[in-house]
Structure 1
């Protein structure tokens, strides 16, 4: 086997021409397609990352909203408890006040009826005393008759 320098030169020239043709017509469009593909993959990765971040942010917002809703619900429950406790205390206080007022009114009515009864009794006793005195004066009786007369009038008063 002999070595021929002409064939090496021709091979190098052919390789250079082929390389130039490939780079002009094949590598350029191929590299463009590959670059476009790389850009598309980068865009998709960036979009996926931003979507992930947006999803995380939305998840945090939902957690915060849920926490706020729970807090508001707890506050509403506590306010309802406080209001119901206050209303119960108000009802009890009103009932106590009304019971005290009714008791005072009843005591006033009892006192009034008692005074009326005492006044009526005094009036009746006064009338009976006058009758007894007039009978005693009319009869001018002795001590024994006088006691019988007083006992008789006391029985009359007791039966009325």
Structure 2
């Protein structure tokens, strides 16, 4: 056999190729396919993880928006309650001030009335004392004589009989 002829070269090339193919299939093909399969699975897992992470991120964003909305609603409620409390406190303070003012006015009126009545009573007392003193002085001067006393008694008797 001549190793340099084209037929023998094709033959030996085919034999070497078949042997090389069998060796590759036996020793290298399985590990290469397993490596490719493992790589494909890891890529699929990575894609699935990325998709799950994206879903989780969307869920977190939705939860954050929900929490923000709740916080805003709670803030608005608290502000509303604070305003209502402020208005109630102002109204209560006004009402209390009005009640106290009316109470002070009524006390002042009562005090003025009491002082007025006391002054009137004092004036009446002084007027009656002065009237008695004046009447006493007038009677003393008018009744200094016996004749005037007799006339007064007669006049009183006449008036007493008429009544």
Q: Which structure's relative contact order is higher, taking Cα pairs within 8 Å and 6+ residues apart?
A: 1
**Is 2:6 the counterpart of 1:30?**
no
Query: Post-superposition shift, 1:136?
Result: 2.0
- Equivalent position of 1:93 in the other structure: 95
Partner of 1:73: 75
C-alpha offsets along residues 23-74 of structure 1, whole Å, 9 cap, x if unaligned?
Answer: 2223212111110110110010011011111111111111111111111111
Per-residue deviation, 1:11: 7.6
Alignment partner of 1:53: what SS?
Answer: helix
Gaps of 5+ in 2: 1-6, 144-163
Q: How many residues align?
A: 137
Alpha-carbon offset, residue 112 of structure 1: 0.5
* Aligned-residue RMSD, C-alpha: 2.3
TM norm structure 1? 0.75
* Runs of 4 or more consecutive aligned structure 1 residues displaced over 6 Å after TM superposition: 6-14
Alpha-carbon separation, structure 2, partners of 1:27 and 1:117: 131
Unpaired runs of at least 5, structure 1: 142-160
